[in-house]
Structure 1
Amino acid sequence: MKNVIKIISGGLLVLLISAFTVNTNTNTGYKIGDVAEDFSLKNIDGNMVSMADYKNAKGFIITFTCNTCPYAVMYEDRIVALNKKYAPMGYPVIAIMPNNIDVKPGDALPEMKKRAEEKGFDFPYLIDEGQHVYPKFGATKTPHIFVLEKTGKGSVVKYIGAIDDNYKDASEVKVKYVENAVDALLKGQEVSEKETKAIGCSIKV
């Protein structure tokens, strides 16, 4: 009986150690202050796009989004508005579709192109083929936003999270997280609210 208890105790100990190890080694992607690696992804026009293409940019509003998530759809007009406002100031939107299209065929490249035309996207809408880019960022939702600032050491992550505090109704928004972050960076100030919880659909793998 003592041996059985020892075996059970040992087994529980192994499970606890394993669980602890898994939790502590999980790669959650970029943190605030990290330098984001550049990427080269296919745009809806067939051309490859990277951050290096934007020679005069001061930073980027990297937006992980898709066609099929209701949350992403509700934010489309606001993403278009962000680009219209901030691209001329040096912070363009780059949208990336991270989903596995075998799981979500409505997010395939032809459907992305169709949606972009319908909504008047005036920014790149890239597909993360092979799903290599979104895990580096640590994106988990659509939409999920990363504001980057170009510095001497590279594109530094300054904000991660939601676009604003009301996904349901743009007219009821009280805090515009992304706008506040970019406005602060344009003034040479620190971003006051660096992280918020992204609200949206889980990225399909």
Structure 2
Amino acid sequence: MNRKLYLIFIALVITLRSFGQNYVSKELPLYNVLTDTDITLAKFDSHSAIVLVYTSIHCPYAKLYKERISSMSDQYASQNVRFAFVNANANHPSNKETIKHMKDEANTSNQNVLYLADKNHTVRKALNVEKNPEVIILTPISEGYRKVYQGAIDDSPQSESTVRKNYVQMTLNSILTNKTVPLTYQRPVGCRIK
């Protein structure tokens, strides 16, 4: 009997730990480079989902996805999904990705896609983001957000014409139709965040 209680306890601990890893605080800070304002994830409470796309101005993989992300943002805007590029390179001394550089980059991007800076890597560390580009898809819950997907945007970084699986679209379509998300993680391909 004690062994049975022990196994139930272990299962409960694993479940709680999994929940904790998928829970994201609304108070995580970001910086809107176009409006020069500090924000938190709470700004997106009213959206069905928020898609955070970690990016870099100089990463060749991130550049390949700029237009694809803009197209998806336009595609899902009417369904209350918000896309945002997030750049975590502002404080690295060797990078030429200052807030000013990010603002210039944001001005050349689709205005439907926010451009945010993760100045102190607070959000990157909380979400365990390692690469540019890497996507995090969050949905609002009463306690904050639930992380429903993390990883690659699709299965063909170098050529949009050869994409067979678009992981972002698969996830968003499942969220918007109240279906189980088919995949919660897919290893991203890109430049390592320093």
Q: 2:142 aligns with which of 129, 152, 158?
A: 152
Deviations 1:117-147 (A, max 9, x none): 2233422211111222201110000011011
Q: 1:36 aligns with which of 14, 21, 24?
A: 24
- Measured after TM superposition, the shift of residue 154 of structure 1 is 2.4
What's the counterpart of residue 193 of structure 1?
Answer: 183
SS at match of 2:168: helix
**Aligned Cα root-mean-square deviation (Å):** 1.9
Instruction: Evaluate the alpha carbon distance shift between residue 41 and residue 59 of structure 1 in structure 2; reply closer, same or farther with a 3 A threshold.
Output: same
What's the counterpart of residue 9 of structure 1?
Answer: none
Residues 140 and 146, structure 2, Cα contact 8 Å, conserved in 1 = yes
Instruction: Evaluate the alpha carbon distance shift between residue 161 and residue 74 of structure 1 in structure 2; reply closer, same or farther with a 3 A threshold.
Output: same
Normalising by the residue count of structure 2, what TM-score does the alignment of the two structures yield?
0.83
SS at match of 1:92: strand
Q: Which amino acid aligns with 2:162?
A: E
Residues 44 and 125, structure 1, Cα contact 8 Å, conserved in 2 = yes
Residues 32 and 159, structure 1, Cα contact 8 Å, conserved in 2 = no
The aligned runs of 1:16-165 (5 Å cut-off) are 34-38=22-26, 39-45=28-34, 46-99=36-89, 100-105=91-96, 107-165=97-155
- Measured after TM superposition, the shift of residue 33 of structure 1 is 6.4
What's the counterpart of residue 17 of structure 1?
Answer: none
In the aligned structure 1, how far is the partner of 2:108 from the partner of 2:86? 17
- Measured after TM superposition, the shift of residue 32 of structure 1 is 9.1
- Measured after TM superposition, the shift of residue 82 of structure 1 is 1.9
Question: Percent sequence identity over matched residues?
Answer: 24
Q: Which amino acid aligns with 1:54?
A: F
In the aligned structure 2, how far is the partner of 1:182 from the partner of 1:85? 11
- Measured after TM superposition, the shift of residue 31 of structure 1 is 7.9
Aligned length: 174
- Measured after TM superposition, the shift of residue 165 of structure 1 is 0.4
* Structure 2 residues not aligned, in runs of 5+: 1-17
Structure with the greater alpha carbon radius of gyration: 1
Residues 152 and 167, structure 2, Cα contact 8 Å, conserved in 1 = yes
Normalising by the residue count of structure 1, what TM-score does the alignment of the two structures yield?
0.79
Structure 1 runs (4+) deviating above 6 angstroms are 30-33
Residues 33 and 158, structure 1, Cα contact 8 Å, conserved in 2 = no
